[in-house]
Amino acid sequence: MDALIPRPRAEVAPGAVHVPDWLDLDEQRRLVEACRGWRGYRQTRLPNGGVMSVRTVCLGWHWHPYRYSKVTEDGSPVLPFPSWLGDLGQRAVASAYGPSSVYAPDIALVNFYDSAAKMGMHQDKDEASLEPVVSLSLGDACVFRFGNTSDRGRPYTDVDLRSGDLFVFGGQSRLAFHGVPRVLPGTADPGLGLAGRLNITLRVSGLPSSS
């Protein structure tokens, strides 16, 4: 029944825009296939010894807590950032902020969440640029907690992110804390052929390409 009720776009906070059902099912399938083709998903070990529950692969720049480089932990070159993904990011920002927006991402972090995975409240602040972050959701729905720029506590808003949804945050909300307290297993469209949740986030590094 929920699928029959249109979900309106919403500005969750200044500069933070949720566009439900932005990707149609065919576009979602193509992205899932692309995600399956990118090799090297791993659980990231944090400096405090903890291990993230999501599995991640990086394109363009490899994220090491808390910096970027052109090589992975084992010294292998980071996977290239495809131009078509940059075009998708440009289209996403134009959908969120208007057709005059210009956006040229050079980083993608692809996170896979199984039914038990979570993401603690954090800021995306390792980039040298404060251009917006683009988030694309595929597969199972999740509770996406979008907070304030001061700390991990309240006020925050819990957003129901479903497969195909777009979420963009920039401007005043670019450094807002955000996280995923839970995934909702079994909520993906069976036609997508995905158990779990994939999240693609696009960013602008602001770094010289030779770093």
Q: Is 114 exposed, middle or buried (0-12, 13-18, 19+ CB in 10 A)?
A: middle
Is the whole-model pTM more than 0.85? yes
Is there a contact between 141 and 7 (Cβ–Cβ < 8 Å)?
A: no
Per the annotation, does 64 bind a ligand? no
pLDDT value at residue 1: 41
Instruction: Assign domain 10-203 one CATH number from 2.40.50.140, 2.60.40.740, 2.60.120.590, 1.20.140.10.
Output: 2.60.120.590
Work out the mean pLDDT of the chain and round it to a whole number.
96
Residue 171 CA from chain centroid, whole number:
17
Percent pLDDT > 90 in the chain is 93
Task: Give residue limits of the domains in the chain.
Answer: 10-203
Per the annotation, does 124 bind a ligand? yes
